[in-house]
Structure 1
Amino acid sequence: MGYTTGVTGEFTITPPLTWNEIKNSPFSPYPPAGDDRLELVLRVDEENIETDDGPLIRRTASALVMVDIDEYRAHNLLNVVQQAIDAFPGHVFTGRLECEGEENTDLWRVVIHDGRAVRVEPRIVWPDEDGA
C-alpha cells in the first residue's frame, strides 16, 4: 500500500499520430510496447477504408490517456507526460489531467505550457470580509 492518486482527463494530439509513429512507441497500446507500457497510452482510432485491393484499416492516435491502474502513485506522471511530448515533435498536445490524492486538499493538474508538462495547484482565496 501507499499513497494513491486518481487521474482523469486526456491530451488530444493534433495532427493525429500516424501508424508509423504509433507502432514502436513506448506509448503504444499494442505489443511489444503494450506488454510493458507506461501509465499513459495512446488512444488509437481505426477507420475501415475500401480499396481496389480489399479493406484497409487506417490507425491513428488522437489522444494520450491514462491506463486504468489500481492504486496509482503519480510520482513520475509529469516526466511521463513530458516524455510523450518529446517523443512526437511536430504534434500539439492540448488538454489536461486532473489529479486527486487521498487527502481532500491534494488536488492538482498536469497541463502543457509551451511544450512543457507543468504541475498546477489550485489557489484558495478567501472572500473579502469587509464586503461580506
Structure 2
Amino acid sequence: EGAVPGDRIVGIVQPGTGITIYPIQSPALQAFDDQPERWIDVRWDIDERTKERFPARVSVTAINAPGSLADIAQVVASNDANIHTLSMVRTAPDFTEMLIDLEVWDLKHLNRLLSQLKDNSSVSDARRVNG
C-alpha cells in the first residue's frame, strides 16, 4: 500500500506529466535505478490541523480461534485506526493469515498499532506489507 507521513518518500520526474511520489521501499523505484537525474528528494508537508488518514497494508497471522477477529478489530479501534478492507486465507489448521488495509494518521500511529497487535494473545505475528 502507499506511504504514510513519516515514511521516507522520493519523487520521480515523469517528463511531460509531472512528478510521481513513491515510498522509498517501493519496488517500482528499481525501474529508475539507472536514471538518477529523475530522482528528487521530497518531504511530507502535512498541516497538523488537517485530520487525514492514510492507507497502510499489514499482514496479521492470527490464532484460528473464536474471538480472534474481534480481538484484532478491538486493537485497531482502540488505537483510533480504521479497517478499510480485510481478506483472510487459512494457512494452517491453527493459524489464519489476514491482509488488512488500515487507515492511519502517520508512521508513528502505524508502528504503535503494529506493536499492540503483536502483544495481543490472538496474534502470532503482525507486520507492514510494503509495495
The two structures have a TM-score, normalised by structure 1, of 0.36
Which has the larger share of helix? 2
Higher normalized strand content (fraction of residues): 1
> Which structure is larger by alpha-carbon Rg, 1 or 2?
1
